[in-house]
Structure 1
């Protein structure tokens, strides 16, 4: 398996609180509370490491409360190349209602990240990203960075021979996709809502969804994956289009399922798997994650069994 590197510029400490029936404007008694190191790239790295990947993480962390991250990386065998800055990494509160299966997010502001910090992150990523490495750039940008901050970062990684998977949205995703060929990511993974935001119109059915994804492939992106919740995911390359889905499972927590899907994509790319095998692995990672709180996968045999059950439709 090729090395995997993840970049998280706006990580978070995730505080997940479970309640049985959330009561708004009232007192809620938590059944359980759990603190996890979070952020898209961190979650992707944790799941990829559970699969057996050689994983390095970088990004920006606050020195004041990096303990959960240090512990996670040590337990998972992940190489830590995060840049530390003064202050605390933000805390995001996730209220998981076990009665309804819904999750409410309260996201706090992130650290102030400047151009020097970004340069240090880029240097760490380039050092870890040998030719052929899979690099996942995940999550939102700190408010202190411009929307096009990822363009030069991705260009540098492309020049080093890495395959960049971008899992971001809004203005940063738009900036990446309007960049020149040398700055385009190898793959992007928006969800349906994020793709609708990008194209500026509703995408209510599979035909228009495929059309929007193929437009992105036409710009030079090699792989577009659109996650569609319980409907599974759409996978589009220049030569293939298919959907993959698994039967709906009872979810302990939906938090991080999309990140687990990206980990499935990244590990499949690192293993040089063909598109159908990648699609099976991606939806299996997501489904397996639904049974767990925090960025963790069950044992490999469970994930492989789910991948074998995935329904693939070629379009």
Structure 2
């Protein structure tokens, strides 16, 4: 059985503040406040645990407020391989009003060379040929932009498979390195940055994704927000779209899509089956606050409603 490991080097406690209406420059009174232990890889692990898959969460946590993460891991049965360092994990603000969500991401903990060596030693000890590793999120201060590329090489040398969900220079460095990740999950903007051109149509997105596949990445998934996602593997390209759904919170929706992608890969589903499951995870999460799924049966019901179309561009 495939073992699943997620790595979150710059985690956060997501503080969601619900407002009647966000007006810049005004004083506001919150209608509700909610804290969720998160960070991209931890959100992926949370959704996979909800689905019933064993998963290990690794990363770097500030010892000063690690209890929020420890409570999440204990409640969901997530194996904890996170290193503790001095200080506190950052708190990111999510300001929610009827117009949408405004994100305020604070700086994270800085990591020193000794901590990075400990992370690499932990990965060497934990990951092997039967492991699918999700490298997700931004890199903390103290980590070079090439770290994901280096970790990808380390993990693939041990026979592991790597799914990368990153952005900016760390993503660019990983896509310019060898070996390449097995799978990547950029959004449209991140793919545009890599391609160096706008990608306004589905055909444009597919062509840029095919460029990555031709370079040696086995599976490219491009998230498109309300437009669903594009899945490209080999000569096959699909567009998956979820039906309209009542939204409780968008926090962690992209991470839920990655979790659904991992679940489909572990189950050895077809590309269409994987696309349906990934979109169902994301849509199901939208009905819940935080990075949580509504339960297996509701997600399976949503998966049956996902529209998947073959793309020939």
Q: TM-score range by the shorter chain?
A: over 0.9
User: Residue in 2 aligned with 1:304?
Assistant: 300
Contact preservation (8 Å) 2:276, 2:303: yes
1:285 aligns with 2:274: no
What value does the CA root-mean-square deviation take over the aligned residues?
1.1
Aligned length: 311
**Rounded Cα–Cα distance in structure 1 between residues aligned with 2:23 and 2:55:** 40
Q: Which runs of 5+ in 1 are unaligned?
A: none
TM-score (norm 1): 0.96
- Matching residue within 233, 236, 256 for 1:237: 233
After TM superposition, the structure 1 stretch with the greater mean CA deviation from structure 2, 28-37 or 218-227, is: 28-37
Bigger RCO of structures 1 and 2 (CA < 8 A, at least 6 apart): 1
User: Residue in 1 aligned with 2:89?
Assistant: 89
1:58 aligns with 2:58: yes
**Rounded Cα–Cα distance in structure 2 between residues aligned with 1:286 and 1:127:** 32
Give, in angstroms, the shift of residue 44 of structure 1.
Answer: 0.3
1:42 aligns with 2:42: yes
User: Residue in 1 aligned with 2:127?
Assistant: 129
Contact preservation (8 Å) 1:135, 1:162: yes
Contact preservation (8 Å) 2:245, 2:283: yes
SS of the residue 2:293 aligns to: coil
After TM superposition, the structure 1 stretch with the greater mean CA deviation from structure 2, 40-49 or 155-164, is: 155-164
Moved over 3 A (4+): none
**Rounded Cα–Cα distance in structure 2 between residues aligned with 1:255 and 1:78:** 20
**Rounded Cα–Cα distance in structure 2 between residues aligned with 1:123 and 1:18:** 41
**Rounded Cα–Cα distance in structure 2 between residues aligned with 1:19 and 1:298:** 24
Contact preservation (8 Å) 2:165, 2:186: yes
- Matching residue within 185, 195, 208 for 2:204: 208
Give, in angstroms, the shift of residue 293 of structure 1.
Answer: 1.1
**Rounded Cα–Cα distance in structure 2 between residues aligned with 1:207 and 1:295:** 31
Contact preservation (8 Å) 2:128, 2:155: no
**Rounded Cα–Cα distance in structure 1 between residues aligned with 2:269 and 2:127:** 20
After TM superposition, the structure 1 stretch with the greater mean CA deviation from structure 2, 21-30 or 242-251, is: 21-30
User: Residue in 1 aligned with 2:166?
Assistant: 168
